[in-house]
Structure 1
Amino acid sequence: MKFPPLSCGILLRRYKRFLADVQLPNGEQITLHCPNTGAMTGCANPGDRVWFSTSDNPKRKYAHTWELTETHTGDFICVNTQRANQLVAEALENKWINELANYQHIFPEQKYGEENSRIDFLLKKDGMPDCYIEVKSTTLLTDNGIGMFPDAKTERGQKHLRELTQIAQQGQQAVIFFAILHTGINTFEVARQIDPKYAQLFEQAGDNNVKMLCYKAQIIIEQQRPIALELRKALLS
């Protein structure tokens, strides 16, 4: 997945969830739109370099969108949660996810379930059970080097696990797909200490044959600028 052209600055602060102030190399200060409603633990430290895209849409109040954080340790974090689904869509279309490569048809954003949910991707192929995929953007890196999800209590995520468990019990394929968008993450665990209920439902889902996949995004740098992400490396499968 290629980024639009990116510019960089130094993060001053993130506030009101959707806004961030950045200082540009020329000293100018601008406000970015932050497309991430999560806690963003470790992803929004003042002083880190941030990379942002710019829209030419005159109707936008904030023309710039925060895409990546570059930490003091040299790791890149994709903070734009919309990119997770775009990465998975690209990987599905190109058959980069071995466990899902046999499906022929990809349908994004399909309604399903008893709790009125919307699945990120529904895969179909004649003669095979339908496959329901829920994508989770994962950016939390703990002090001991482990990537975790969620980074805050998530009732929405709990609902998704209940829905996927029911899908699996009905004989369909159900997948929760953790897209690792932090280059420093090399192992993964569910964050039991942050959301014990989510961890409990995660275990129940696994006991009911919900498949857990975890793939790490690779960042592509050209002329000292990030230009693209690819989702090809499996951490867990």
Structure 2
Amino acid sequence: MIFDRPLVPATLVQRYKRFLFDATLTDGRALTGSCPNTGSMRGLTTPGSRIWMSEHDSPTRKYRQMLEIVEADNTLVGINTGLPNRLAEEAIRLGLVSDLHSYETLSREQKYGRNSRIDILLSDPARGLAYVEVKNVHFSRARAVAEFPDSPTARGAKHLEELGDMVEAGHRAIMVYLVQRSDCDQLKICRDYDPIYAAAFDRAMARGVEAYAVKCLVSPTEIAPIGLISVAEAAGSPLRTLA
């Protein structure tokens, strides 16, 4: 995914109310912008961090600048949670995620489960349906290891249960963890921050749900999926690359 125009560098002053951030431009001007990530953004809100913002000229927008990338541990990290579905679709079409590219039809945001919408629905006359749920990942606290989630997510656990239901109904179900950083070679479930999600993940894997993690190359001009990294499955299991 190439940005419409190069992102603008700045220095983060603070991120607050989840939706807002203050920053200082390279010429010293201060500004307030919107933050397209309502999560905790653990490890990515340190004052003084280098950031990159997109700029929008629409007269209906309250804030012209929107936060897109934060530098952490000498790595550029994409934080916009509006991008993972688009990046996951790109990864699928590029053939990076198992054999998902071989399905005939790809649809977005289809109703299913318990009053939910699946991020991507794949269909094929010969192979049936494949339900693909996408999660944004940007948290890392150990070298080369990405973790999800970075805070409790009851919604995420619900999605795992619904994917398991789809498998039991005779369909294929897939979790795609979209890692918006390039310094990680492994994806682990963050069991200490959200044991409920971890238990739901274990149940989903036991029921036949597949899990893949896609690493991205992040720069001020584009964010691009570049390949799979290994995923840790049930508690105590070794990390392995799913293909």
| Coarse TM-score class (shorter-chain normalised) | over 0.9
Q: How does 1:179-218 map to 2 (within 5 A)?
A: 179-218=178-217
After superposition, the C-alpha distances for 1:114-164 in whole angstroms (9 at most, x for unaligned) are x21110000011110200000000011014542110011001001101100
What do residues 17-55 of structure 1 show as CA deviations (whole Å, max 9, x unaligned)? Answer: 000000001110011100001110111211111100111
Note if contact 1:215-1:231 (Cα within 8 Å) is conserved in structure 2. Answer: yes
Which aligned runs of 4 or more in structure 1 are off by greater than 6 angstroms? none
Structure 2 unaligned residues grouped into runs of 5+: 231-241
Q: Which amino acid aligns with 1:157?
A: G
Match of 1:235 among 229, 233, 241: 229
Cα distance in 2 for partners of 1:47, 1:30 equals 14
Percentage of identical aligned residues: 35
1:165 aligns with 2:164: yes
Conserved in 1, the CA contact under 8 Å of 2:96 and 2:228?
no
Answering whether residue 47 of structure 2 is matched by residue 46 of structure 1, we say yes
Q: What's 2:145 paired with?
A: 146
Q: Residue in 2 aligned with 1:129?
A: 128
1:119 aligns to 2:118 (yes or no): yes
Deviation per residue, 1:79-109 (Å, 9 max, x gap): 0011111111222233332331211211000
| TM-score normalised over the length of structure 1 | 0.93
Paired amino acid for 2:78:
C
Answer yes or no: is 1:100 the counterpart of 2:100.
Answer: yes
Report SS of the residue matched to 1:142.
Answer: strand
How much does 1:232 deviate? 2.6
What whole-Å deviation, never above 9, does each CA across 1:170-224 have from its counterpart, x for those lacking one?
11000010011122222111011011111111011001110001110123x5xxx
Letter in 2 for 1:77: V
Contact 1:178 1:215 in 2 (8 A): yes
The 2-side partners of 1:187 and 1:95 are apart by 20
Contact 2:71 2:77 in 1 (8 A): yes
Q: TM-score, normalised to structure 2's length?
A: 0.91
SS at match of 2:225: strand
1:141/1:184 contact within 8 Å kept: no
Matched residues in 2 for 1:192 and 1:235: separation? 19
Paired AA for residue 17 in structure 1: R
Ranges in structure 1 where 5+ consecutive residues have no aligned partner: none
CA distance in 2, matches of 1:190, 1:208: 17
Q: Please name the residue that 1:61 is paired with.
A: 62
For residues 179 and 39 of structure 1, the distance between their equivalents in structure 2, rounded to whole angstroms, comes to 17
User: Matched residue of 1:98: which SS?
Assistant: coil
Conserved? CA contact 1:106–1:122, under 8 Å: yes
1:90, 1:213 → 2: CA distance? 14
Aligned residues: 230
